[in-house]
Structure 1
Protein backbone atom coordinates (compact mmCIF):
# COMPACT_ATOMS: atom_id res chain seq x y z
CA UNK A 1 0.00 0.00 0.00
CA UNK A 2 1.28 3.45 -0.85
CA UNK A 3 1.92 6.33 1.47
CA UNK A 4 0.46 9.79 1.14
CA UNK A 5 2.79 12.64 0.32
CA UNK A 6 2.61 13.74 3.96
CA UNK A 7 3.56 10.30 5.21
CA UNK A 8 6.39 10.00 2.70
CA UNK A 9 7.68 13.48 3.57
CA UNK A 10 7.65 12.66 7.29
CA UNK A 11 9.47 9.38 6.70
CA UNK A 12 12.13 11.16 4.63
CA UNK A 13 12.43 14.18 6.93
CA UNK A 14 11.51 16.71 4.25
CA UNK A 15 8.52 18.93 3.59
CA UNK A 16 5.79 17.78 1.19
CA UNK A 17 6.44 20.76 -1.10
CA UNK A 18 10.00 19.46 -1.60
CA UNK A 19 8.69 16.16 -2.92
CA UNK A 20 6.25 17.99 -5.22
CA UNK A 21 9.10 20.12 -6.53
CA UNK A 22 11.30 17.09 -7.18
CA UNK A 23 8.46 15.58 -9.15
CA UNK A 24 7.82 18.83 -11.07
CA UNK A 25 11.44 19.03 -12.24
CA UNK A 26 11.57 15.36 -13.23
CA UNK A 27 13.88 14.09 -10.49
CA UNK A 28 11.16 11.90 -8.99
CA UNK A 29 8.36 9.85 -10.52
CA UNK A 30 5.45 9.07 -8.24
CA UNK A 31 2.51 6.90 -9.27
CA UNK A 32 -1.02 8.17 -8.71
CA UNK A 33 -3.94 6.26 -7.24
CA UNK A 34 -7.36 5.97 -8.89
CA UNK A 35 -8.34 9.37 -7.46
CA UNK A 36 -5.24 11.06 -8.85
CA UNK A 37 -3.44 11.40 -5.53
CA UNK A 38 0.26 10.65 -5.25
CA UNK A 39 0.87 7.22 -3.81
CA UNK A 40 4.41 6.66 -2.55
CA UNK A 41 5.04 2.94 -2.92
CA UNK A 42 8.33 1.38 -1.83
CA UNK A 43 9.93 2.11 -5.22
CA UNK A 44 8.94 5.80 -5.18
CA UNK A 45 10.15 6.14 -1.60
CA UNK A 46 13.50 4.54 -2.47
CA UNK A 47 13.80 6.86 -5.48
CA UNK A 48 13.11 9.83 -3.17
CA UNK A 49 15.81 8.59 -0.76
CA UNK A 50 18.24 8.49 -3.68
CA UNK A 51 17.34 12.05 -4.67
CA UNK A 52 17.81 13.15 -1.06
CA UNK A 53 21.21 11.48 -0.81
CA UNK A 54 22.35 12.98 -4.12
CA UNK A 55 21.22 16.43 -2.92
CA UNK A 56 23.18 15.96 0.29
CA UNK A 57 26.38 15.16 -1.62
CA UNK A 58 25.99 18.32 -3.67
CA UNK A 59 24.19 17.47 -6.90
CA UNK A 60 21.69 19.98 -8.24
CA UNK A 61 18.26 18.78 -9.31
CA UNK A 62 19.17 18.91 -13.02
CA UNK A 63 22.29 16.88 -12.24
CA UNK A 64 20.21 14.41 -10.25
CA UNK A 65 17.74 14.02 -13.08
CA UNK A 66 20.62 13.27 -15.45
CA UNK A 67 22.35 11.01 -12.90
CA UNK A 68 19.18 8.94 -12.61
CA UNK A 69 18.91 8.65 -16.38
CA UNK A 70 18.27 5.18 -17.78
CA UNK A 71 21.32 5.74 -19.98
CA UNK A 72 24.29 4.66 -17.91
CA UNK A 73 26.75 6.78 -19.92
CA UNK A 74 24.72 9.92 -19.18
CA UNK A 75 24.53 9.10 -15.49
CA UNK A 76 28.25 8.34 -15.29
CA UNK A 77 29.21 11.56 -17.06
CA UNK A 78 27.27 13.65 -14.56
CA UNK A 79 28.71 11.81 -11.57
CA UNK A 80 32.27 12.02 -12.93
CA UNK A 81 31.87 15.77 -13.50
CA UNK A 82 30.63 16.20 -9.92
CA UNK A 83 33.57 14.19 -8.58
CA UNK A 84 35.99 16.46 -10.45
CA UNK A 85 34.23 19.56 -9.15
CA UNK A 86 34.34 18.27 -5.57
CA UNK A 87 38.02 17.34 -5.86
CA UNK A 88 38.78 20.85 -7.13
CA UNK A 89 36.80 22.29 -4.23
CA UNK A 90 38.80 20.18 -1.77
CA UNK A 91 42.04 21.57 -3.19
CA UNK A 92 40.74 25.14 -2.84
CA UNK A 93 39.54 24.49 0.70
CA UNK A 94 42.91 23.03 1.70
CA UNK A 95 44.65 26.11 0.32
CA UNK A 96 42.23 28.32 2.25
CA UNK A 97 42.97 26.42 5.46
CA UNK A 98 46.73 26.75 4.87
CA UNK A 99 46.38 30.47 4.30
CA UNK A 100 44.21 30.97 7.39
CA UNK A 101 46.56 28.90 9.56
CA UNK A 102 49.44 31.03 8.37
CA UNK A 103 47.59 34.26 9.15
CA UNK A 104 46.95 33.06 12.70
CA UNK A 105 50.64 32.33 13.21
CA UNK A 106 52.04 35.16 11.08
CA UNK A 107 54.53 37.42 12.88
CA UNK A 108 53.52 40.43 10.76
CA UNK A 109 50.84 42.72 12.15
CA UNK A 110 49.31 43.41 8.74
CA UNK A 111 48.89 40.69 6.15
CA UNK A 112 50.04 42.92 3.30
CA UNK A 113 53.43 43.23 5.04
CA UNK A 114 54.02 39.49 4.88
CA UNK A 115 55.59 37.98 1.75
CA UNK A 116 54.00 34.60 2.49
CA UNK A 117 50.54 36.14 2.81
CA UNK A 118 51.14 38.01 -0.44
CA UNK A 119 52.07 34.77 -2.19
CA UNK A 120 48.86 33.11 -0.91
CA UNK A 121 46.89 36.10 -2.19
CA UNK A 122 48.39 35.74 -5.68
CA UNK A 123 47.32 32.08 -5.95
CA UNK A 124 44.29 31.37 -8.04
Structure 2
Protein backbone atom coordinates (compact mmCIF):
# COMPACT_ATOMS: atom_id res chain seq x y z
CA UNK A 1 0.00 0.00 0.00
CA UNK A 2 1.30 3.41 -0.97
CA UNK A 3 0.23 6.98 -0.42
CA UNK A 4 -0.46 9.22 -3.38
CA UNK A 5 2.95 10.86 -2.94
CA UNK A 6 4.74 7.52 -2.90
CA UNK A 7 2.79 6.27 -5.90
CA UNK A 8 3.46 9.44 -7.87
CA UNK A 9 7.18 9.37 -7.04
CA UNK A 10 7.39 5.72 -8.09
CA UNK A 11 5.78 6.58 -11.42
CA UNK A 12 7.88 9.70 -11.96
CA UNK A 13 4.89 12.04 -12.06
CA UNK A 14 3.30 14.61 -9.75
CA UNK A 15 0.54 13.69 -7.30
CA UNK A 16 -1.87 16.17 -8.92
CA UNK A 17 -1.66 14.11 -12.13
CA UNK A 18 -2.94 11.04 -10.28
CA UNK A 19 -5.74 13.10 -8.76
CA UNK A 20 -6.70 14.41 -12.20
CA UNK A 21 -6.70 10.91 -13.70
CA UNK A 22 -9.03 9.82 -10.93
CA UNK A 23 -11.32 12.84 -11.49
CA UNK A 24 -11.74 12.07 -15.20
CA UNK A 25 -12.32 8.36 -14.63
CA UNK A 26 -9.02 7.05 -16.00
CA UNK A 27 -7.97 5.69 -12.60
CA UNK A 28 -9.83 4.06 -9.73
CA UNK A 29 -8.28 4.32 -6.28
CA UNK A 30 -9.82 3.13 -3.05
CA UNK A 31 -9.82 5.24 0.11
CA UNK A 32 -8.93 4.27 3.64
CA UNK A 33 -11.12 4.96 6.67
CA UNK A 34 -9.82 8.54 6.85
CA UNK A 35 -10.57 9.26 3.19
CA UNK A 36 -6.94 9.07 2.04
CA UNK A 37 -6.16 7.47 -1.30
CA UNK A 38 -4.52 4.06 -0.96
CA UNK A 39 -2.55 2.74 -3.91
CA UNK A 40 -2.46 -1.05 -3.86
CA UNK A 41 -0.84 -3.21 -6.55
CA UNK A 42 -3.96 -3.04 -8.72
CA UNK A 43 -4.16 0.76 -8.60
CA UNK A 44 -0.44 1.06 -9.34
CA UNK A 45 -0.77 -1.25 -12.34
CA UNK A 46 -3.73 0.75 -13.58
CA UNK A 47 -1.74 3.98 -13.16
CA UNK A 48 1.19 2.48 -15.09
CA UNK A 49 -1.20 1.55 -17.90
CA UNK A 50 -2.64 5.08 -18.01
CA UNK A 51 0.87 6.53 -18.03
CA UNK A 52 1.97 4.28 -20.89
CA UNK A 53 -1.13 5.07 -22.93
CA UNK A 54 -0.57 8.81 -22.38
CA UNK A 55 3.08 8.47 -23.42
CA UNK A 56 2.12 6.76 -26.70
CA UNK A 57 -0.18 9.65 -27.52
CA UNK A 58 -3.66 8.90 -26.23
CA UNK A 59 -5.62 11.77 -24.72
CA UNK A 60 -7.28 11.17 -21.35
CA UNK A 61 -10.72 10.64 -22.95
CA UNK A 62 -9.07 8.11 -25.29
CA UNK A 63 -7.40 6.42 -22.31
CA UNK A 64 -10.75 6.11 -20.55
CA UNK A 65 -12.29 4.62 -23.69
CA UNK A 66 -9.30 2.35 -24.36
CA UNK A 67 -9.53 0.88 -20.87
CA UNK A 68 -13.31 0.45 -20.98
CA UNK A 69 -14.70 -2.92 -19.95
CA UNK A 70 -16.12 -3.54 -23.44
CA UNK A 71 -13.18 -4.80 -25.47
CA UNK A 72 -14.74 -3.92 -28.83
CA UNK A 73 -15.10 -0.24 -27.85
CA UNK A 74 -11.58 -0.16 -26.44
CA UNK A 75 -10.15 -1.70 -29.61
CA UNK A 76 -11.93 0.88 -31.78
CA UNK A 77 -10.20 3.71 -29.92
CA UNK A 78 -6.81 2.04 -30.21
CA UNK A 79 -7.32 1.31 -33.92
CA UNK A 80 -8.24 4.95 -34.53
CA UNK A 81 -5.04 6.06 -32.75
CA UNK A 82 -2.99 3.62 -34.83
CA UNK A 83 -4.52 5.07 -38.03
CA UNK A 84 -3.75 8.62 -36.88
CA UNK A 85 -0.15 7.72 -36.01
CA UNK A 86 0.35 5.94 -39.34
CA UNK A 87 -0.93 9.03 -41.18
CA UNK A 88 1.46 11.17 -39.16
CA UNK A 89 4.36 8.85 -40.04
CA UNK A 90 3.45 9.08 -43.75
CA UNK A 91 3.37 12.89 -43.58
CA UNK A 92 6.71 12.90 -41.78
CA UNK A 93 8.26 10.63 -44.42
CA UNK A 94 6.99 12.92 -47.18
CA UNK A 95 8.46 15.91 -45.37
CA UNK A 96 11.84 14.19 -45.03
CA UNK A 97 11.84 13.25 -48.72
CA UNK A 98 11.06 16.84 -49.71
CA UNK A 99 13.65 18.32 -47.37
CA UNK A 100 16.34 15.89 -48.52
CA UNK A 101 15.65 16.88 -52.09
CA UNK A 102 15.87 20.60 -51.27
CA UNK A 103 19.25 20.05 -49.61
CA UNK A 104 20.56 18.14 -52.63
CA UNK A 105 18.76 20.20 -55.31
CA UNK A 106 21.03 21.71 -57.96
CA UNK A 107 18.68 24.67 -58.47
CA UNK A 108 19.35 27.85 -56.55
CA UNK A 109 15.66 28.58 -56.01
CA UNK A 110 13.11 25.91 -55.26
CA UNK A 111 10.65 27.51 -57.70
CA UNK A 112 13.10 26.75 -60.54
CA UNK A 113 13.15 23.02 -59.80
CA UNK A 114 10.49 20.84 -61.44
CA UNK A 115 10.86 18.21 -58.70
CA UNK A 116 10.36 20.76 -55.93
CA UNK A 117 7.33 22.10 -57.77
CA UNK A 118 6.00 18.54 -57.90
CA UNK A 119 6.42 18.15 -54.13
CA UNK A 120 4.67 21.47 -53.53
CA UNK A 121 1.73 20.60 -55.80
CA UNK A 122 1.24 17.25 -54.04
CA UNK A 123 1.19 18.80 -50.57
TM range (shorter): over 0.9
TM-score (norm: length of structure 1): 0.95
1:89-108 to structure 2, matched below 5 A, reads 89-108=88-107
CA RMSD of aligned residues (A): 0.9
Unpaired segments ≥5 residues, structure 1 = none
- What are the Cα deviations for residues 69-97 of structure 1, in whole angstroms up to 9, with x where unaligned? 00011101001111111111111111011
Q: Distance in 2 between matches of 1:17 and 1:114?
A: 54
Once residues 80 and 65 of structure 1 are traced to their aligned partners in structure 2, the CA distance between those partners, rounded to angstroms, is 15
Instruction: Kindly report which structure 2 residues correspond to 1:15-94, keeping only aligned pairs within 5 A, or say none.
Output: 15-94=14-93
Structure 2: 5+ residue stretches without partners:
none
What is the TM-score with the length of structure 2 in the denominator? Answer: 0.96
Distance, in Å, in 1 between the alignment partners of 2:110 and 2:59 is: 37
Count of aligned positions: 123
Q: Shift in Å at residue 110 of structure 1?
A: 1.6
**Moved segments of 4+, more than 3 Å:** none
Deviation of 1:100 after TM superposition, in Å, equals 0.7
